[in-house]
Structure 1
Amino acid sequence: MGNDENCVPANGSSKKRAFASVNAVNSQMMSPKKRAVLSEVSVNTGNIDLGFDDFCTPEPIVKTVKKTVDKEDGELKKCGYSSLIYQYLHSLEVEEKRRPLSNYMEKVQKDITVGMREILVDWLVEVAEEYKLVSDTLYLTVSYIDRFLSTHVLSRNKLQLLGVSCMLIASKHEEIAPPHIEDFCYITDNTYGKEEVVEMEKEILKFLNFEVSNPTAKAFLRSFTRTAQENSTPSTLKFEFLACYLAELSLLDYGFLRFNPSMVAASAIFLSNFTLQPEKHPWSSALQLYSGYKASELKYCVLALHDLQLCKKGNSSIAVREKYMQHKFKYVAKLNVPSAIPQSYF
């Protein structure tokens, strides 16, 4: 599903909001201008002879290739490669250098608040939508921000600069055609110059020791989704979008920093199953075996995520909700949500 994200057409009628300034002196909104950042690339083969009489692959060959791929995919699953990859990612996510402090706002920051972080991330969701970035870029961006703020004291007037610089780095890592530095300056209404963004980028990369890859909830979500769908979840696409919606909601909530990304992803799968089939137990033995999490271990993360889904916490995750109210995401943000999860499910 991540491969299709750059191909989704932008919704021209969607209302774009700018990042709300966190400076107490200047509280005016800055309106990002709508623009086409990534130009279409046209490939002209001219009269080059590719050595084929017909570009269409004969049907028998297509069937043979598909059969071979399906067979190899089945063999990979039997060999447990998927499980080994998950175990490796899980071992990385618990490394201290890859995890932000769950209380850095209280311990490190003096001029930045939880609310300012929430406004920043919500705005970055809009920036990612505006430039048609894959969701992995957004998750990596937030990971960089939280890890940087866990060790560096930052003034509020540099918070947006940190956000766009982190997204620039994440874009270079994840995107085929990342936006340019000038694009990120422009989206901030030129509040910051190119030199400032470059300097902040250097500082972030030095802090990361140029290790820009990091396990995020999105990576775990892909693995858990495949496992969940082996039991033929009804409306597969809606299930996938709902799980992505719930995981993205968690990005805005500072309180979720206490949970590992794999636990957030597992909780999103749990809650998606419950939302679509509330009468059925949302956590199968296959999911427990693959993820290593019992339903009881997910309880607090699931309940916190459920509160976000019900808008009980009063956060300002407007961009995420509007994003998933669109037709292309099957309107999953508009789904009726059961008000309580039975204790027996834990």
Structure 2
Amino acid sequence: MASRVIVPQQGNNGEAKQKNLIVEGRNRRVLQDIGNFVNERAAHGKKPITEGVAAIALAGKGGAGGGVTKVVGAQRKVVDKPNPENVIVISSDEETEQRRPVSRREGCSRKDVKTLTAILSARSKAACGLANKPKDSIEDIDGADAGNELAVTEYVDDIYNFYKLTENDGRLHDYMGLQPDINAKMRSILVDWLIEVHRKFELMPETLYLTMNIVDRYLSMRVVPRKELQLVGISAMLIACKYEEIWAPEVNDFVFISDNAYARQHILVMEKAILEKLEWYLTVPTPYVFLVRYIKASTPFDDKMENLVFFLAELSLVQYPTVVMYCPSMLAAAAVYAARCTLGMSPLWSGTLKHHTGYSEDQLKNCAKLLVKFHSTAAESKLKAVHRKFSSQDRNAVALLPPARNLLPVPDGELF
């Protein structure tokens, strides 16, 4: 006799649970983008459920022959069809207003009605001369990056507002009076050499700006002998490389680049001393973070414009007065303004740039004139690292461009 396989019977609860699991697994969808929230019924050509609910009509009592009308979804099923005179369809006042045709005259008459506030505002603008003033349009510089998650377009404005609020925390004061053994000229020589090292190692641009921020902040806190100034520079660059670079140079690379002036142990000891003095505060808004944003706001954008802005900004790093006198955001904005003047772009300062930088053209002119002065004397200067770097063709040879004439003062030959 053939044997049968006896399947154990489950109760109603188990059977219902198993069915629910099957249905749930069958209907489960893979997570995708926010487009999942689109109504699927509308996508398949079906009417939404709410449309059927909103289409319910009530049947009134019309006497002995009154009937009932049932509405299911968008289909109506009539039972005991009554006489036409006994059926009363009640619709809401909202639907009646929508169905009632509105004459063109009536629509126009509503638009012509002006409130007292609107009239007073118009008179005030006319009295101030603002009525016929064209609006300076502000371009959406982040519109093209809406689909790029790395651009964080939802938060980028808040990020740069935070940068503007915190840039004064790491801002420098005039510290050369506290340094008995070094001066501004020695600092410029160190910066010029660090720019060469930065180019030799092919490091990221942000590494250079963070290096100089670390050097200046450390010099403003501690007296440094002349023989240790270069040691401070290479130790600061080592810290910046560890912070910014994916593949940071080794300590032995800095020993070699300094011509064995310092041993490996000397660099490690100075690195520790700098970090302790700065209390490991390295996340600071340097001019670089503002340069990237302001270059993006300067339209039309091209490589020549970008290289010219970075050329002027790096010239300002070499000069001690600019670092002390101006905050990072103003240095970045002035570099963009001076570059636009050099290239003869029109307008020299747009509403978009004013909106994103927070500076007007008049606020930037003094700093921009200083940058143009450095540009005009860069070829004859003994510190040629920046000029040599931006004279190459891969940088569009922007250092060889004539400086902006409208920012070069006085006809007697003196720049200031």
C-alpha distance in 2 between matches for 1:78 and 1:141: 28
> Deviation at 1:176?
0.8
C-alpha distance in 2 between matches for 1:167 and 1:261: 19
Q: Which of the residues 333, 339, 342 maps onto 1:275?
A: 342
The aligned counterpart of 2:88 is none
The aligned counterpart of 1:265 is 332
Which amino acid in 2 is paired with 1:203? A
Root-mean-square deviation (Å):
2.2
Which amino acid in 2 is paired with 1:179? P
CA offsets 1:89-144 (integer angstroms, 9 cap, x no match): 1112111xx1221x2112x1000011100000000000001111111111111111
C-alpha distance in 1 between matches for 2:309 and 2:210: 18
Q: Which of the residues 394, 398, 415 maps onto 1:328?
A: 394
> Deviation at 1:199?
0.6
Q: Which of the residues 157, 162, 166 maps onto 1:83?
A: 157
Identical positions, percent: 36
The aligned counterpart of 1:118 is 188
Asked if 1:99 corresponds to 2:171, the answer is: yes
1:221-300 → structure 2 map (5 Å cutoff): 221-229=291-299, 232-233=300-301, 236-256=302-322, 257-277=324-344, 280-300=346-366
Q: Note closer, same or farther for the CA distance 1:177–1:339 as it changes in structure 2 (3 Å cut).
A: same
Matched-pair contact (CA < 8 Å) for 1:239–1:272 = yes
C-alpha distance in 1 between matches for 2:145 and 2:319: 40
The aligned counterpart of 1:22 is none
C-alpha distance in 2 between matches for 1:128 and 1:201: 18
> Deviation at 1:69?
8.1
The aligned counterpart of 2:406 is 340
The aligned counterpart of 1:12 is none
The aligned counterpart of 2:29 is none
> Deviation at 1:339?
2.9
Q: Note closer, same or farther for the CA distance 1:71–1:135 as it changes in structure 2 (3 Å cut).
A: closer
> Deviation at 1:336?
1.9
Which amino acid in 2 is paired with 1:277? G
> Deviation at 1:294?
1.0
> Deviation at 1:317?
3.3
1:1-346 → structure 2 map (5 Å cutoff): 70-73=145-148, 79=154, 81-95=155-169, 98-101=170-173, 103-106=174-177, 108-229=178-299, 232-233=300-301, 236-256=302-322, 257-277=324-344, 280-311=346-377, 315-341=381-407
C-alpha distance in 2 between matches for 1:294 and 1:71: 28
Which amino acid in 2 is paired with 1:119? I
The aligned counterpart of 2:56 is none
Which amino acid in 2 is paired with 1:220? F
C-alpha distance in 2 between matches for 1:191 and 1:158: 10
> Deviation at 1:300?
1.4
Which amino acid in 2 is paired with 1:105? M
C-alpha distance in 1 between matches for 2:281 and 2:194: 22
Which of the two has higher C-alpha Rg?
2
SS in 2 for 1:212: coil
Matched-pair contact (CA < 8 Å) for 1:325–1:332 = yes
> Deviation at 1:289?
1.1
Q: Note closer, same or farther for the CA distance 1:323–1:219 as it changes in structure 2 (3 Å cut).
A: same
C-alpha distance in 2 between matches for 1:275 and 1:262: 20
> Deviation at 1:333?
0.5
C-alpha distance in 2 between matches for 1:93 and 1:270: 20
C-alpha distance in 2 between matches for 1:122 and 1:315: 11
SS in 2 for 1:72: coil
Matched-pair contact (CA < 8 Å) for 2:145–2:153 = no
More contact order relative to length (CA 8 Å, sep ≥ 6):
1
Matched-pair contact (CA < 8 Å) for 1:118–1:316 = no
Q: TM-score normalised to the size of structure 1? A: 0.72
Q: TM-score normalised to the size of structure 2? A: 0.61
The aligned counterpart of 1:8 is none
CA offsets 1:167-226 (integer angstroms, 9 cap, x no match): 000000011111011110111101000111011000100112112221111110000011
C-alpha distance in 1 between matches for 2:408 and 2:382: 28
Give the aligned length: 265
Q: Unaligned regions of 5+ residues in structure 1, if any?
A: 1-67
CA offsets 1:220-256 (integer angstroms, 9 cap, x no match): 0000011112xx24xx010001101110110000001
C-alpha distance in 2 between matches for 1:258 and 1:225: 22
Q: Note closer, same or farther for the CA distance 1:252–1:71 as it changes in structure 2 (3 Å cut).
A: closer
Matched-pair contact (CA < 8 Å) for 1:270–1:282 = yes
Which amino acid in 2 is paired with 1:112? I
Matched-pair contact (CA < 8 Å) for 1:274–1:281 = no
